[in-house]
Amino acid sequence: PPGEENLGKAAYLNVFESLSRLLKALKESGYSVPRVPSGEELKNIFVSKGIVNSGEWLQPKLSEIPQVSIREYSSWLKEVPEKSREEVLREWGPPPGSIMIADSSILIPGLVLGNVFIGLQPSRGFHEDPSKIYHDKNLPPHHQYIAFYKWIRKGFKADAIIHLGTHGTLEFLPGKEVGLSSQCFPDILISDCPNIYVYHAVNSSEASIAKRRSYAVIISHASPPLTDSGLHGDFQEIERLTLEYFDSLQYSRERAEEVARRILERAGKYGLGESVEEIYDRIQEFKRSIIPKGLHILGEKLSFDEIIAYLTFLARYDRGRVSSLHRLLIESQGLDYAEVLEKPHKMTSYGKTYAEVLSEAERRAREIIRDYLIYGTIPSMEGVNKERMAETLDFLRDVYERIIASDEVGAVLKALNGGFIEPGPGGDFVRTPEVYPTGRNIYQLDPTSLPTEAAMERGRKIADEYLKRFYQRYGRYPRTVGVVLWAFETMKTGGETLAAIFHLLGVKPVWKSLYIRDLEIIPLSELKRPRIDVVVTICGIFRDTFYNIVELLDKAVRIVASLNEPEEMNYVRANFQRLRNAYGENAYFRIFGPPEGKYATSLTSLIESSQWKSEAELISAYLESMKFAYGERERSIEARNLLSSLLSNVDIVAQVRDNVNYEITDLDHYYEFLGGLTKAVEGESGRKPLVLVADTTKEMIKVEDAASSIKRGIVTRTINPKWLDAMIAHGYNGVTKIADRIEYMLGLSATIGHIEDWMWNSVAENIIFNKERAKKMRDANIFAYRKIIRRLLEAAKRGYWRAEREVIKRLEEEYLETEEVLEGEV
């Protein structure tokens, strides 16, 4: 998005410091770079010169920013194929348009350093002209966007382009999904210029779009270091009280009851549970949660201590033949590892909670891993199979060697020299440590191999847990489950969501060799429940990447709907019969997404720009974006009424959380897709569905309601001083990331809900009213800091936060103070 606060924004990357490291390497390799500014200096140069897209405060220093005359641009525009050129003129009018214009010239925001140009990819124009959010499903690039890429080739005469950070918008411009033609905008703009794309290794799905639609060679970069969340504030005190309670149980029931009363009173506002045991278990979940620590800097490797911490997290999990080190240590004590994980409050015979046992196992695992890497020693421990431990430690040593082999900056230089970039997988660094070494060209998995057999087993568990949760609450099975299906998740998990959908329908894929060839019906006698209908919502990336799966799912629905079974045992058939008169054969459709050429919904643009008046407007925007049906026989069929009819019958909305980098509070696409679907079901049915998140990032699959998932994200990250201070340490880009999270809270409030008053209060207290932290943020990025205050005030104005009047007054005063500071500086 445009605006000063978003300068240098990318997923988990400190862009300015990464730029500085890259410039240094270029200079050392002989490229003409007169001097290498530090990351902080680069940021200051961009701010002082007003190099920003559609800034609110900063005015560009025209004498120091490249510009393109209308005459020159018009000659470049004539080179654009006629059909595509007409689309631009129809949507944006004659050149130069109104975006990034000064003195009738088009601004090219960027900085020239010798033979290197550092530019800001243009905005898409939604924020400058909010009407475009609704107006066009395939919005062509505006004049300044086209001028930017044309100037790079024709004005600056670049031999190669490096796109730095995940992700840009070039690869999502209108055009064919693969095999682009000369009329497709990504092809028009990148042309034959080598495109080297530095990309977060976690996101292999969108990286594949960059490869297909902008001809990119991907250079993967790592995630930030990982750490555990720990506890803070009230949560720390609640843990202390719970331990006091367990201790009191051994000698004074009366004392224990008094401590329990204090715990329930203190924990009450946070909704952590109905008993001391539930509260303790929840607190321990927060404490053990894995969180990212700040941002990654290109080329920066983990320190030895950070590697040990990462490997210790890896050691929590079983991986086929490789046993969890924690499991080996805990089972050596005669305890069941699964029970220790499931019941943190349970006491051992020697007076320790299972959570304390787990914590001790983690500490011991860290020591064993450290000693093995330094000395090569494997301890002899009573009850531990030394061969199994050796297998685990050998696996961890292999990961260690992969980490230190990473060479991200070197890979960029190699690509610039026309060298071969070794391919490598993408994915979550905890689930798939084979992502190391970074600095490789990410590839995606074979779509015909999905779902994997491992994913099928996990997907069955997920589906069964969805049904169990609903049955326990309502005493019946859900008739329809609305599912969010992403390429992002499918690539990482091998198809857990896909497998869950199959199991809900009561079918299973039949493997022949590595590939699925057919579907097998699970008999009702074996299923022992009705077949559950589904509404599957996909993003455009899933459509473009996994259309074979779209066809397979559609085939499954058609088979199940055609079974000669009682409707009370086959909800797919029942719904098809209900809808058939109105929609004919289209009543089979169950898979919906954006139209061809479009990848997402307009919800994020509405939330970002605050250009919405009511939740009904968000529902309408979601349905307009997602009303296109997909199947084996038809693609992108407009079916708004059918979608509305299907959603009116949805009881559960569900999605899988698949990687440790993102809680559902950390990514706008969660409120966009999970939240959008939830709100649409509410709008069409008149009732709130049960919203479930299947968290498959932990040692054991956990299905929880969205409220619990949101709460964990807020407590362990958004208001956690450990997370906040690690972000603030990255200066400008870090503060931007904090501001993003507050925006996502607003998006979640408007769609799923469950953002409670205490959460907003905690944001205000931990960020704005914490003098030391607020000063650091103001000094680092006053624009993003101001945006946080604006979002808090917006939350209160829209009724999502019942803030006390004194709190609002303090926020308004701080907001005005930032305005005075900016007016004095600019």
DSSP string covering 659-693: -TT--TTS-HHIIIIIIHHHHHHHHHHSSPPEEEE
Alpha-carbon torsion angle 575, 578, 584, 590, nearest 10: -20
Token representation of residue 224: 């930030």
- CA nearest neighbour of 535 among 418, 373, 651: 651
Q: How far apart are CA 742 and CA 739, in angstroms?
A: 5
For residue 114, the one-letter residue type is G
pLDDT confidence tier of residue 650, bands split at 50, 70 and 90: very high
Task: Return the number of other C-beta atoms located less than 10 Å from residue 130's C-beta.
Answer: 16
Q: Is 320 in a helix, a strand, or coil? A: coil
Token representation of residue 367: 């020591």
pLDDT confidence tier of residue 545, bands split at 50, 70 and 90: very high
For residue 746, the one-letter residue type is L
Mean pLDDT of the residues in the chain = 96
Token representation of residue 296: 């990654």
Question: pTM for this one?
Answer: 0.96
Q: How far apart are CA 734 and CA 729, in angstroms?
A: 7
Domain assignments of the chain as residue spans, ordered by start:
4-225, 447-711, 719-825
Chain segment 413-463, per-residue pLDDT in tens: 999 999 999 999 999 999 999 999 999 999 988 888 899 989 999 999 999
- CA nearest neighbour of 731 among 1, 41, 24, 37: 41
Task: Return the number of other C-beta atoms located less than 10 Å from residue 394's C-beta.
Answer: 12
pLDDT confidence tier of residue 134, bands split at 50, 70 and 90: low
Q: In the Cβ-directed half-sphere of 198, how many Cα atoms lie within 13 Å?
A: 30
For residue 11, the one-letter residue type is A
Task: Quote the pLDDT of residue 130.
Answer: 76
Provide mean pLDDT across the span 301-306: 98
Question: Under the phi-then-psi rule, with left for phi > 0, alpha for psi from -120 to 50, and beta for the rest, what region is 23?
Answer: alpha
Chain segment 69-82, per-residue pLDDT in tens: 999 999 999 999 99
Q: How far apart are CA 432 and CA 425, in angstroms?
A: 9
Chain segment 799-823, per-residue pLDDT in tens: 999 999 999 999 999 999 999 999 9
CA 171 to chain CA mean position, Å: 18
Q: Is 48 in a helix, a strand, or coil? A: helix
Chain segment 748-791, per-residue pLDDT in tens: 999 999 999 999 999 999 999 999 999 999 999 999 999 999 99
- CA nearest neighbour of 653 among 501, 504, 535: 535
Alpha-carbon torsion angle 718, 697, 507, 675, nearest 10: 0
Q: How far apart are CA 5 and CA 787, in angstroms?
A: 8
pLDDT at 137 over 60: no
pLDDT at 314 over 80: yes
pLDDT at 120 over 90: yes
Task: Quote the pLDDT of residue 103.
Answer: 86
Contacts (Cβ under 8 Å, ≥6 apart) of 24: 36
Q: How far apart are CA 628 and CA 594, in angstroms?
A: 6
pLDDT confidence tier of residue 141, bands split at 50, 70 and 90: very high
Task: Quote the pLDDT of residue 128.
Answer: 81
Contacts (Cβ under 8 Å, ≥6 apart) of 729: 294
Chain segment 257-282, per-residue pLDDT in tens: 999 999 999 999 999 999 999 999 99
Contacts (Cβ under 8 Å, ≥6 apart) of 595: 137, 138, 628, 636, 638
| Residues paired with 133 in a beta bridge | none
Task: Quote the pLDDT of residue 341.
Answer: 98
Report the share of the chain in percent with pLDDT over 90: 93
With contact defined as beta carbons under 8 Å apart, do 313 and 303 qualify? no
Q: How far apart are CA 665 and CA 671, in angstroms?
A: 8
- CA nearest neighbour of 706 among 735, 731, 738, 670: 670
Task: Quote the pLDDT of residue 138.
Answer: 81
Radius of gyration, alpha carbons of the chain:
27
With contact defined as beta carbons under 8 Å apart, do 238 and 283 qualify? yes
Q: Which helix (H) or strand (E) holds 291?
A: strand 290-292
Task: Quote the pLDDT of residue 514.
Answer: 66
- CA nearest neighbour of 484 among 440, 522, 523, 534: 534
Task: Quote the pLDDT of residue 304.
Answer: 98
Rounded to 5°, the CA angle 226-727-660 comes to 35
- CA nearest neighbour of 79 among 189, 195, 242: 189
Provide mean pLDDT across the span 159-170: 97
Buried b (16+ CB within 10 A) or exposed e, 70-85: bebbeebbeebeeebb
DSSP-derived letter for residue 570 is: B
Token representation of residue 426: 């993408």
Q: How far apart are CA 116 and CA 32, in angstroms?
A: 8
Q: How far apart are CA 570 and CA 100, in angstroms?
A: 57
Provide mean pLDDT across the span 612-621: 97
CA distances for 145 relative to 7, 207, 550, angstroms: 17, 21, 34
Which of 135-139, 366-370, 745-749, 783-787 has the least mean pLDDT? 135-139
With contact defined as beta carbons under 8 Å apart, do 667 and 683 qualify? no
pLDDT at 104 over 90: no
Chain segment 19-61, per-residue pLDDT in tens: 999 999 999 999 999 999 999 999 999 999 999 999 889 989 9
Q: How far apart are CA 33 and CA 35, in angstroms?
A: 6
With contact defined as beta carbons under 8 Å apart, do 68 and 105 qualify? yes
Contacts (Cβ under 8 Å, ≥6 apart) of 797: none
Task: Quote the pLDDT of residue 824.
Answer: 84
Task: Quote the pLDDT of residue 447.
Answer: 87
Provide mean pLDDT across the span 391-409: 98
For residue 45, the one-letter residue type is I
Task: Quote the pLDDT of residue 826.
Answer: 58
Token representation of residue 686: 């008149």
Q: How far apart are CA 635 and CA 637, in angstroms?
A: 6
Provide mean pLDDT across the span 538-546: 95
- CA nearest neighbour of 607 among 752, 801, 793, 744: 744
